[in-house]
Amino acid sequence: MDGLRYVEEFRDPLLGRSMLQALRRMAQRLPKSSVRIMEFCGGHTYAFHRFGLLELLPPEIRMVHGPGCPVCILPKGRIDAAIKLCLEKKAVLATYGDVLRVPGSHSLTLMKARSMGADVRIVLSAMEALDLAEKLPGQEVVFFAIGFETTTPPTAAVVLEADRRNLKNFSVFANHVMTPPAMEAILSGTSVDGIIGPSHVSTVIGSRAYDIISRKFNIPIVIAGFEPLDILQALQMILQQIEEKKAQVENEYSRAVSPEGNLRSQELIAKVFEHAPSFEWRGLGELPLSSRSIRNEFSLFDAQRRFSLEVLHVSDPGICECGEILKGVKAPQDCKIFGTVCTPDNPVGACMVSAEGACAAFFHYGRQEGVVS
Amino acid sequence: MRSEKGVLGLPLNIEKGRVEMIHGSGGRASSQLFEEIILPAFDNPWLRKAGDQAVVEMAQGRWALSTDSFVVSPIFFPGGDIGSLAVHGTVNDLAMGGAQPRYLTVGLVIEEGFPLSDLARITQSLGSAAERCGVSVVAGDTKVVERGKGDGIFINTSGIGWIPRDIVLDPSAIRVGDILILSGSIGEHGAAVLAAREGGGLVTSLLSDSAPLHDAVQKLIASGPGLVCLRDPTRGGVATVLNEWARETGLVFEIEESRIPIRQEVRGISEILGIDPLYLANEGRFLAVCRPESADRLLSVLKSHPLGLAASQIGHVKAGDPTRPGGMVRMTTLMGGVRLVDWLLGDPLPRIC
């Protein structure tokens, strides 16, 4: 595992400490008393907590958590539809592990549906779901596909592969959402001074994808890797831009992200998917042209059409602040039920489910004196 | 042996045959399975009697009892299999109480259709692991369940071990100032099993750390006083053991990330699968709490044992916080930040032991 050297290099403690000192000096030169910086991606939220970075930041930097957690933004209606697929339509549902604990209506989850007799399988990849369909020729197998641009190309690839293998019992319930429209929606409603841009998503869509947003909202966006030194470097770059009154897209994660992104993945996506007219995001509501649906020529593999599946709007419980937390308006500890009624073992809102969710990350790593979030 | 016992018919075709329902029926086929596969693996006077119970002579004093069931998937993994794991698991549970393991019982639940060759391989592995640990398998039971009602093979082992009179290892004796020692690098069993699982698609040189710990524990005990308690971080890993102790004592357990030995392959798999190595299972490691004045001696005794070469003093125990009666576990990260080490998130983890 030679690639691991990349990991250890970017966790060097001595370098990290000197970068933190530099960050503190930069923070004192800021033109205002404090800045709000959003990490868009749940991967960064998790890293902040896991490496204990939040409490090390200078007090002038306030981090705001973004909506970039694929599980967290799934609205209840989509969980309900998935439960219907496996419980009523008797399809074998294959999906990623975190999805099983996301509550739909009446606190029902796929995990509970499984205990009620539904056949729900955890897969680590889209290809595993396809192989499952091949192994169960007599049964309908549906891949409950979720995620931002990172997981979209593999889903596209299995649709093409299912077509090539002429599989008759495989389909995809597509819930692939897009980062730029969500970022725009957030910036329209929340005031932040800079954004740490997604790392894995950007390997696919490229750093140029954020140019329009940075210009439109006059905001620095720095794409960063998930390691501690990546994050500290990105924060320095954002502060530098603020100090110089610049607002542009910069790429800290240049070892993996190019300006144009991964063209082959983009081609794969375009071949199988088109923009869906609208998608309901938990917290952000209906956003036009913010997700992808399967093109007509692959409609056989589209579970929504195959099972005439309706996705209904279901309101979130009033006490849960997931929506406001996903928009960066509130922090996990502002929620009245955080850590009491709502815990990772019994989540009320989706932010408490995935390790990348702001509430779960804070619950898991952060709850102690001296930590501000 | 077959002819002596007088089982009729041909011997089992161990190479190609499979377990059938009739092998669990208690009739002739059951005896044949016992005599041709199971008995040769554990041969000892108690089993040869094939009675309903084993009668053993026991010394006076205190005895530790423990039982554990093993459902690991896959049943053969790099560095071990369900047979050796079933021995080490129970031997280690006894060892954590300071006991010297003596006798084991083994219960096999086998799914119809299970290859006889795999059964022979597993029972032989179980037998030789028991022999290496110096324990005798004195009683056992075999059941066969219909195809689809089990997953290949499940094993239960129960064990009994003798505890020297003056040894009391008990977490309720943990005090502020005590030192935490970890016997070796963490997460190798969990990572090896996860990597070996179908669908993981990961190829590594990593081996499970599955090993018996009683010898290392006896050496620690023999070196003098100061050992407070021991626990082996199996399912849920090091983080779970520390949280259990924190809850039992209400104290704060502080560890340092830089002092926790983790092999590069384990780090790699953890990164790929998004799992924190602190929560990965170990089957041949233990955590020890000891008095500060004994820490250096115990650590050097441990480091001179083959299973403790990478042993490390990873932290210490501090006073509890009255607002958190359940205690807590904190870790200073490599970056110098301090974070909570919580209970394992309730994720649907695969079967690893």
Q: What is the 3-state secondary structure (H, E, C) of B69-91?
A: EECCCCCEECCEEHHHHHHHHHH
For an interface test with B, which of A365, A367, A373 has the most B Cβ atoms less than 10 Å from its Cβ? A365
Predicted pLDDT at A370: 36
For the domain made up of B171-340, the CATH class stated in words is alpha beta
The predicted structure's pLDDT at residue B203: 67
B179, containing H or E segment: strand B179-182
Boundaries of every domain in chain A: 76-178+261-306, 322-365
Q: Which part of chain B has CATH 3.90.650.10? A: 171-340
- Full pLDDT tens readout for chain A, 373 residues: 444 556 677 888 889 999 999 999 999 999 889 999 999 998 899 899 888 898 899 999 999 988 888 888 899 999 999 999 999 999 999 998 889 988 899 889 999 999 999 999 999 889 999 999 999 999 999 999 999 999 999 999 999 999 999 999 999 999 999 999 999 999 998 889 999 999 999 999 999 999 999 999 999 999 999 999 999 999 999 999 999 999 999 999 999 999 999 999 999 999 999 999 999 998 888 999 999 999 999 999 999 999 999 999 888 767 888 888 888 888 888 899 898 888 888 888 888 887 778 888 888 887 654 333 3
Residue with tokens 């960050």: A23
Alpha helices in B96-232 (DSSP H): 116-133, 188-196, 214-222
b/e sequence A128-150, b meaning 16+ C-beta within 10 Å: bbbbbbeeeeeebbbbbbbbbbb
Strands B136-145 and B100-111: parallel
- Residues A342 and A322: their CA atoms lie apart, in Å, by 11
**How far apart are alpha carbons A326 and A66 in whole angstroms?**
6
Q: Which residue on chain A is closest to B202 by alpha carbon?
A: A1
How many angstroms separate the CA atoms of A138 and A141, rounded? 9
Quote the minimal CA–CA distance from B249 to chain A in Å: 18
Minimal CA–CA distance to A364: which of B350, B279, B255? Answer: B279
Overall residue count recorded for chain B in this entry: 353
Q: Residue B295's CB: how many other CB atoms inside 10 A?
A: 19
Pairing verdict, β B179-182 and B287-290 = antiparallel
Of A4, A52, A98, the CB nearest to B339: A52
Asked whether the beta carbons of B313 and B299 are under 8 A apart, the reply is yes
Q: Helix, strand or coil for residue B310?
A: coil
How far apart (Å, rounded) are the C-alpha atoms in residues A175 and A146?
Answer: 5
What pLDDT score does A372 carry? 34
What is the bridge-based pairing of β-strands B287-290 and B252-256? unpaired
Task: Say if domain B10-163 classifies as CATH 3.30.1330.10.
Answer: yes
ipTM of the complex: 0.73
Q: Which residues of A touch B264 (CB under 8 A)?
A: 1, 4
> Would you call B335 and A1 a contact, using CB atoms and an 8 Å cutoff?
no
A-B CB pairs within 8 A amount to 93
Cβ contact, residue pair B342, A1, below 8 Å: no
Q: How far apart are CA B285 and CA B277, in angstroms?
A: 14
Q: Where in chain B is the domain with CATH 3.30.1330.10?
A: 10-163
Distance from CA of B239 to the nearest CA of A (A): 12
- Nearest CB among A53, A100, A367 relative to B337 is that of A53
Alpha-carbon span A71 to A151, nearest angstrom: 12
Burial of A12 (0-12, 13-18, 19+ CB in 10 A): middle
Tens digit of pLDDT at every position of chain B (353 positions): 444 444 567 899 999 999 999 998 888 899 999 999 999 998 888 888 878 889 988 888 899 999 999 999 999 999 999 999 999 999 999 999 999 999 999 999 999 999 999 999 999 999 999 999 999 999 999 999 999 999 999 999 999 999 988 899 999 999 999 999 999 999 999 999 988 875 556 667 889 999 999 999 999 999 999 999 999 999 999 999 999 999 999 999 999 999 999 998 898 888 877 788 999 999 999 999 999 999 999 999 999 999 999 999 999 999 998 888 889 999 999 888 899 998 886 554 556 66
The CATH code belonging to domain A76-178+261-306 is 3.40.50.11740
Strand order in the sheet with B100-111: B62-70, B153-163, B100-111, B136-145
Are B335 and A53 within 8 A, CB to CB? yes
DSSP-derived pairing of the beta strands A249-251 and A221-223: parallel
> HSE on the CB side for A272, CA within 13 Å?
24
What is the residue-averaged pLDDT of chain A?
Answer: 91
Q: Which residues of A touch B267 (CB under 8 A)?
A: 4, 7-8
Q: Do A111 and B334 touch (CB under 8 A)?
A: no
Give the one of A7, A53, A228 whose C-beta lies nearest to B271's C-beta.
Answer: A7
Q: Report chain A residues whose CB lies below 8 A from the CB of B240.
A: none
